[in-house]
């Protein structure tokens, strides 16, 4: 795993946006895996700036979001489809029919999950999957205990996740109790993964994901199995890492080698 420690959340957002923009520059029909929540908001803002400043086109890009709350329709203000339209898609030139988010209000949940997996395969697989991390170590909505081989399916949300996400709803009672989420196995098939974390509230989850044992009890630790995983954290989220000095050294060397090349 590549661990990038940056001063603050703004630097994390800038780094991630440049990574995603670089992928689209190199492959205009790239398939991007996207996330919602507070963490990627800055990344999306930067990406929109790059799109506007450089005229970087997303016309041929396809996107697949990690998850959607079960039972919420796409126009519910707290749905992840609504979030993506509001915070990213409406500012880009990407046709909305090339943006995929699981349908939370489907009457055929099993069929929706299988169709989602099929669409990812038909798109040629995900080039880069953007991830946040829950304070309990979840990625997507793969809560602790999720199979490391899991595919897109319904997961019951942990109470801690419902509490963490209650800020997006009028009350805790309104937070759905389940979601459709890509599985850990689905996420691991992306050619590249980029996990972002900011703030001390994520420090323990990041320490366990990066330096703890590989375990379904800490779903993000599954990224230790991925051949091209980059973990981008600010100083707050990095504050519990035991080998932070080594990661900084490795990044310095990486930059030096790139300059020399
Ligand atoms: C969102 C998602 C979740 C979030 C995680 C962190 O699509 O899949 O795993 O990335 O809950 O959320 P924030 O960024 O709000 O702390």
Query: Catalytic: which of 46, 51, 76, 138?
Result: 138
- Residue 259 Cα to ligand 1 middle (Å): 35
Identify the residue whose C-alpha is closest to ligand 1 atom 1.
36
pTM, full prediction: 0.97
Query: Which residue intervals of the chain are DSSP H helices?
Result: 9-26, 41-54, 80-87, 109-122, 159-165, 184-188, 203-211, 235-238, 244-260
What integer pLDDT is reported at residue 209 of this predicted model?
A: 98
Domains identified in the chain and CATH numbers: 9-192 (3.40.50.1360)
CA distances from 162 to 142, 175, 194, 210 (A): 13, 6, 24, 24
What integer pLDDT is reported at residue 261 of this predicted model?
A: 82
Average the pLDDT over 7-16 and give the result. Answer: 98
Q: Which of 38, 39, 175, 202 is the pocket-test mutation for ligand 1 (most atoms within 8 Å of CB)?
A: 39
To the query of whether residue 11 is one of the catalytic residues in this protein, the response is no
Per-residue pLDDT of 171-220, as tens digits, reads 999 999 999 999 999 999 999 999 999 999 999 999 999 999 999 999 99
Per-residue pLDDT of 143-181, as tens digits, reads 999 999 999 999 999 999 999 999 999 999 999 999 999
Per-residue pLDDT of 21-59, as tens digits, reads 999 999 999 999 999 999 999 999 999 999 999 999 999
Question: Which atom of ligand 1 lies at the shortest distance from residue 40's CA?
Answer: 14
Place of tokens 């590549």: 2
What integer pLDDT is reported at residue 196 of this predicted model?
A: 99
Per-residue pLDDT of 55-81, as tens digits, reads 999 999 999 999 999 999 999 999 999
């Amino acid at each position: 795993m590549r661990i990038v420690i940056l001063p603050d959340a703004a630097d994390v957002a800038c780094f991630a946006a440049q990574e995603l923009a670089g992928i689209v520059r190199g492959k205009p029909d790239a398939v991007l895996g996207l996330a919602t929540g507070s963490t990627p908001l800055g990344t999306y803002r930067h990406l929109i700036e790059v799109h506007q400043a450089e005229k970087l086109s997303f016309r041929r890009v396809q996107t697949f979001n990690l998850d959607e709350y079960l039972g919420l329709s796409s126009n519910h203000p707290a749905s992840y489809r609504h979030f993506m339209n509001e915070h990213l898609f409406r500012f880009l030139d990407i046709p909305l029919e090339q943006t995929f988010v699981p349908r939370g209000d489907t009457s055929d949940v099993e069929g929706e999950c299988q169709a989602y997996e099929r669409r990812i395969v038909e798109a040629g697989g995900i080039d880069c999957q953007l991830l946040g991390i829950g304070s309990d170590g979840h990625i997507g909505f793969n809560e602790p205990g999720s199979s490391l081989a899991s595919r897109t399916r319904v997961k019951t949300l942990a109470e801690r996740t419902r509490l963490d996400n209650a800020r997006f709803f009028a009350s805790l009672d309104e937070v759905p109790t389940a979601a459709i989420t890509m599985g850990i196995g689905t996420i691991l098939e992306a050619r590249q993964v980029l996990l972002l974390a900011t703030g001390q509230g994520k420090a323990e989850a990041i320490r366990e994901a990066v330096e703890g044992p590989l375990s379904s009890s800490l779903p993000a630790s599954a990224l230790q199995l991925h051949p091209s995983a980059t973990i981008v954290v600010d100083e707050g989220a990095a504050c519990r890492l035991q080998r932070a000095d080594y990661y900084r050294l490795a990044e310095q060397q990486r930059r030096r080698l790139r300059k020399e090349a």
